[in-house]
Amino acid sequence: MNSIWRPSRVGVAGTGAKELSIHNYEELAALHAIARLLAQPQELRDQLEQALQEMSNRLGMQRGMISLMDRETGETWLDVAHGVDIQGMAVIYKPGEGITGKVAQTGRPMACKNLGKEAHFLDRTGARRFLNRSELAFLCVPIIYDSRVVGVLSADKVARQVEDLDRELALLSSVAELLAKAVQSRVLEEENRRLRGIVGRSRTPSPDIIGHSRVMQDVFGLIAQVADSNTTVLIHGETGTGKELAARAIHRKSSRLKGPLVQVNCAAIPDTLIESELFGHERGAFTGALHQRRGRFEEAHGGTIFLDEVGELSSAAQVKLLRVLQEKQFQPLGSLRVVKVDVRIIAATNRVLEQDLATGRFRPDLFYRLNVFPLFLPPLRDRGSDILLLADHFVLKYAKEMGKTVRKISPAVSDILLAYHWPGNVRELENCMERAVVLAERDAIETSHLPPSLQALAGTDERKGQGKLNTVVEAQERELILSALRECDGNQTKAAKLLGTTKRIIQYRIRKLGLDARQFRPQKATASRTAAAQD
C-alpha cells in the first residue's frame, strides 16, 4: 500500500499536545492570505472556494476539495471544490469509505506519494480520469472544530514537488485549522436547509410546534401515545418552552377535539377568587357576586382543561382541585347543587414539584393525581439545530407580517444563536428575531440587529478567533526563527539572511518571543569564552 497515516496535528480530544511544523515565509504568507479572506463578509461557499484557490495559486495544491460530515450518520459529502467540476454531482462517502471516509472516521491525516498505486482512492468526481496518477501525490486532513471532526480537506500536488509528506500534511492541517469555523458554519447551514426540507414530513403533532432534534422527536412520540386517551398529563418545562402548545397539541389529537379547550393560568388568579374561577358561583355568594357564573371546569365539559402553572396554587386551592380530580364533581360557590363534569385535565408547571413536596409547598396526593403521565419539554439550549430552524421560522413569520424582504440569517448570527444559553427559551428567541426583523434593512439578519446581550457574544467570539489565529502564526514564527538560529549556530546575522530579512527585525522578534540565541552557539566556543573570562 502506498498511503501513509499520520497522527493528527490539530488536537482532537484525547491526543497529546499539538505538533507544529516549520513553515517558511511563503507558506506563512499563504496562511495569512487565507485568514484574511475568511475575515471578509461573504457567503461561506465563496470564502471556502477562494481559500482553495489560494491553496492552488500559492501552495501548488491543486483540485482542492472540502467535504462536510453529517453528525448523525457519519457520512461525508463533497461540498466545495476548486479545479473540479462538481455541479449536479452528489458525492457521498460512507464512514471509512475511501481516503476521505477514512480520514473523516478516524480524524487522522492520510497522504500518498503515488496516487496511481493507491487502492483506497476512489476518484468519485472523475477529475483525475485522464491524468497520470503516478505523477500526483494526494493529501487529506480532517477539519476539526471544538474537538470534533466536521469535515475533510484534500488536495493533489505534483509528486516531484513533494519532498516531505509530513511537512505537506502539516501545512494542509494549518489551512484546515483556519477553515474550521467557516466549515462548521457551513455544516450548520446545510443541516438547517435539509431540516427545513424534511420538517414537514416529521411526526410533529401540530404545525405550531417546530423541531427535528432527537429530544423533540421523543416528545412528539409521547404526545402521539397519550393524546387519544383520558389520562391526566403533567407537562414539566422551563418558562418559554412551549407547554401551552404541547397541551393544545394533545387536545387536537384526542377524541375530545370537538369539545372546548379551556386554559387557566393558575398563577394569575388570587387565592380569594380561585374557587369561583374554577368552579363558579351563585348570585350573592360573596360581595360583588351580582350574577351567577359558570366555572372553568363546567365550561370545559366534554373537552379539556389546561391548568398552566399549577404549582403556584395555594394550599386551599389544591384541596379543592384534588376533590374534583377524585370525584369528578363539585359544588359552585354558594350553591347546593352538584355539578358533574366530563373533563380531561392537562396541567403544566415550571417548578420542580418533587422539591415542593419535600418542603410541604405542594400536596403529595394532588401531585400523584396530576403526574399520571409526565411529559418533559427540553429547554431550547438542549435542542441543537432546532434553534436555527426556529429562528428561520420566526424571521419568515415576522418578515411577512411587516412586509419586509428579510429571508435569512447570516453565518455570524447563527454562531451566536447556537452559543447563547437562552434562559427565556423559545419565547426569548421569538422576541429576539422579531426585533431583528424590525431593524433589518436588507435580506439578512446581521449581528448588529441582535439585542446587546447577544452582540457581546459576537465580540467575544471574534476575539477568540483572532487569538487562535495569532497563536498559530506566532507558534509557526517561533519555530521558523528557532530553526534558523539552530542552523546558523545562534548567529543572528546569518539567521536573518537565511530567512530573507534584516538582523534588526530578527533581534526584535527574538526579544518579542522571549527566545535566547545563545543556547544555539557551539559548546566549545562557549566554553572557551567562559574560560577566558575566568582567566
Q: What is the pLDDT of residues 324-351, one digit of tens each?
A: 888 888 877 777 778 888 999 999 999 9
CATH code of the domain made up of 384-450: 1.10.8.60
**d(C-alpha 99, C-alpha 202), whole Å:** 34
C-alpha cell of residue 267: 398563577
Check: CB of residue 311 under 8 Å from CB of residue 363.
no
**d(C-alpha 262, C-alpha 299), whole Å:** 7
Domain 457-534 - what CATH class?
mainly alpha
Q: What is the pLDDT of residues 399-447, one digit of tens each?
A: 999 999 998 888 788 888 888 889 999 999 999 999 999 999 988 899 9
Q: Which of 197, 203, 149 is nearest to 173 (CA)?
A: 149
Q: What is the pLDDT of residue 143?
A: 95
Domain boundaries, the chain: 3-194, 214-377, 384-450, 457-534
CATH code of the domain made up of 3-194: 3.30.450.40
Q: What is the pLDDT of residue 128?
A: 83
Q: What is the pLDDT of residues 457-494, one digit of tens each?
A: 765 554 444 444 555 566 667 767 877 888 888 888 88
Q: Which of 140, 136, 174 is nearest to 158 (CA)?
A: 136
CA distances from 366 to 84, 280, 315, 417 (A): 67, 21, 10, 39
Check: CB of residue 151 under 8 Å from CB of residue 67.
yes
**d(C-alpha 460, C-alpha 200), whole Å:** 36
pTM: predicted TM-score of the whole model, two decimal places:
0.54
CATH fold of 214-377 reads: Rossmann fold (3.40.50)
Sign of the Cα torsion 496, 498, 499, 502 reads positive
* Whether the domain at 384-450 and the domain at 457-534 fall into the same CATH topology: no
**d(C-alpha 144, C-alpha 15), whole Å:** 13
pLDDT in tens, the chain (535 residues): 444 554 433 333 333 333 444 677 778 888 888 988 888 877 888 889 999 999 999 899 999 999 999 877 888 989 999 988 887 677 888 888 889 999 999 999 999 888 888 877 877 787 887 788 888 999 999 999 988 899 999 999 998 888 888 889 999 999 999 999 999 888 887 776 665 554 444 456 777 788 877 788 889 989 999 998 999 999 999 999 999 999 999 999 999 999 999 999 988 888 777 878 888 877 755 666 667 778 888 899 999 999 999 999 888 788 888 888 888 888 777 777 788 889 999 999 999 999 999 999 999 999 999 999 999 999 998 887 788 889 989 999 999 999 999 988 887 888 888 888 899 999 999 999 999 999 999 888 999 999 988 887 765 554 444 444 555 566 667 767 877 888 888 888 888 887 777 777 777 778 777 777 777 777 544 444 434 434 3
